[in-house]
Amino acid sequence: MADDEVPNKKEPYESPRVSVIGLRPEEAVLGTCKSSSSSGPVGTCTGVGQCRIPGS
Amino acid sequence: MYVETCHIATVQPVAMNRAYIRIGDVSLGLRADSADDLELTREMKRFQTTPPTQCDIELTVQWADRLPKPVGRKLFCSGSVWALHEDHDRFIFDFATPVLGDQPYKRLAVDRKFSAARLWLNRECLPAGRQVYPLEYPLDELLVTNWLGGGRGVEVHGCGLVDHGTGSYLFLGHSGAGKSTTAHLWSSLREAKVLSDDRIILRREANEIWMHGTPWHGEAGFASPEKTKVEQIFVLEHGDRNEVLPLAQGRAVAELFARCFPPFYDRDPLAFTLSFLHEITNRVPCYQFRFVPDESAVSEILDFHG
């Protein structure tokens, strides 16, 4: 097949799109309490809603 | 013998007592003078293991009478209980909370490969007679995730499970996205093993991506030391109906990055994390999963064949 017979398969132009990805820095940095059974510095966990550790 | 390490005068431990755990195929060896200083939480005990030939991370636990302020450059403040300083060729993690006073209640000094660490517990902050867990969160997770960042893997915010009839699934999600709900649904409706409902470690194994359970569970409390190959990844999102949507690769990498725990303060491990997430999206199909939190969400996944 000659070159000039190759069909033009160029896809139509599509404008770039911006996608917003939700980052949550407070979750990506380890440190907030995980559960009342295993978290809180040396057993000082006071329970959900009462924690005094910043970010918890 | 007295030594001056990290500007702390302490008694060098004989460290005859040992404990070993393995999380995500990362072996961690602990040593201390007293067996009381090696106490593990209930969740962590499930990850205890026999002594390996060589531990990936060695941690020595000892006490200090007090912990003075670190002198090195501050690299990172977590906004919660810990801050990171550098001290020559080491990292210094200080853990502090107003609950326990002005000083750090413990300090971790670790080499830059995260293979050798020393933990000082502060006598002034930690009252005698009170049980202390040296690996207490988030120190345990910091050690493992940083070690993984050295070209070995990544931890993600997700629920990983194996359905014995259909295969393995990893559901990624921020807090409140439905990870624990997903774990409850699958474990109650199917013959499924949940590795974790909150934290999963991903590693390459023979050109496949494998997921490992961790002790750091979510509200549903699933924490298993088992592992399995990842076959599909779904990014969870609440919706009005169940819907599996394709994710372009660039978007998938970004969604994974938004749900992982990268070492923000260290360039090379951060670059590795991005590269590894890209590799994961090359090897494992990734989708967005909008779902309603009931039985139909499980059926939707079972009926989905890519």
Instruction: Tell me what the pLDDT averaged over chain B comes to.
Output: 93
pLDDT at res. B2: 35
* Predicted ipTM beyond 0.90: no
Residue B20 vs residues B50, B59, B134, B140: alpha-carbon distances, Å: 7, 10, 13, 13
Residue B225 vs residues B79, B193, B215, B285: alpha-carbon distances, Å: 30, 11, 8, 24
Angle between helices B249-257 and B267-283 (to 10 degrees): 130
C-alpha–C-alpha distance, residues B187 and B120, integer Å: 41
pLDDT digits (tens, 9 = 90+) for B191-225: 999 999 999 999 999 999 999 999 999 999 999 99
8 Å CB contact of B81 and A24: no
Which tops the pLDDT comparison, A39 or B78?
B78
pLDDT band at B3 (very low <50, low <70, confident <90, very high): very low
Q: Do residues B44 and B215 touch, judged by C-beta distance below 8 A?
A: yes
pLDDT at res. A46: 43
pLDDT band at A6 (very low <50, low <70, confident <90, very high): low
Predicted confidence (pLDDT) at residue B153 exceeds the cutoff of 80: yes
pLDDT at res. B161: 98
pLDDT at res. B71: 83
Q: Which of A14, A20, A23, A29 to mutate to test the interface with B (most CBs of B within 10 A)?
A: A29
pLDDT digits (tens, 9 = 90+) for B278-287: 999 999 999 9
Q: Which residues of B touch A52 (CB under 8 A)?
A: 97-99
pLDDT digits (tens, 9 = 90+) for B64-121: 999 988 889 999 999 889 999 999 899 999 999 888 888 999 999 999 999 999 999 9
pLDDT at res. B239: 97
pLDDT band at B163 (very low <50, low <70, confident <90, very high): very high
Beta-carbon pairs below 8 A across chains A and B? 99
pLDDT at res. B176: 94
Q: Does B20 touch chain A (CB under 8 A)?
A: no
pLDDT at res. A32: 62
pLDDT band at A17 (very low <50, low <70, confident <90, very high): confident
The SS3 of residue B270 is helix
pLDDT at res. B189: 97
pLDDT at res. A40: 46
Share of residues in chain B with pLDDT > 90 (%): 86
Our CA-based measurement puts residue B155 at a distance from the nearest CA of chain A, in whole angstroms, of 10
pLDDT at res. B15: 62
Q: Does B296 touch chain A (CB under 8 A)?
A: no
Query: Nearest 10 degrees: CA dihedral of B236, B242, B247, B252?
Result: 0
8 Å CB contact of B215 and A38: yes
Predicted confidence (pLDDT) at residue A22 exceeds the cutoff of 90: no
Predicted confidence (pLDDT) at residue A31 exceeds the cutoff of 80: no
